Amino acid sequence: MLEVGMRAPEFTLSDKDGKQVSLSDFAGKKVVLYFYPKDNTPGCTRQACAFGEAYPRFQTKNVVVIGVSKDPAASHQRFAEKYALPFILLSDPELTAIRDYGVWQEKKNYGKVSMGVVRTTFVIDEAGMIELVMPKVKPDTNAEELLAYLEREE
């Protein structure tokens, strides 16, 4: 797992419209990068909607919000349209960024062990360094916890 003070791994992934987006596109801005398991599942939907609702507050702080899962771009497009999500959703079917950020891990569900994305959020500073790591976040409170953190920083 990556730690505070480390350089955030660079990535280039497709957004919901198939456009290539790189972390370096946001140099000079603070980035909230959150990894989630799957579009249209209950927890992921609550988390995305909470980020969508809080998005104007992130914008006033000049913070970019990016969600990443292994779902294809077409799934992200439907997900974003269905819930009017205003932020960037990136598709990582090859698990490139997901592995680089250390969020592809063993998970246990009803006694069954499998590999999957562990819901994790990173704050990356204007210079591309990891400022905050939030492992195993709760979908319902993640956006508000981040806003509280960002407000303490000001």
Q: Catalytic site residues?
A: 44
105: β partners: 116
Please list the alpha-helical segments (H only) found in 22-109: 42-60, 73-83, 96-100
Closest CA to 35 of 117, 150, 144: 117
Backbone angles phi, psi at 74, to 5 degrees: -60, -35
Kindly give, in sequence order, each residue whose CB lies less than 8 Å from that of residue 130, ignoring residues fewer than 6 positions away: 2, 3, 4, 5, 6, 7, 8, 122, 123, 124
Query: Tokens 């579009």 map to which residue?
Result: 39
Burial 8-21 (b: 16+ CB within 10 A, else e): bbebebbbbeeeeb
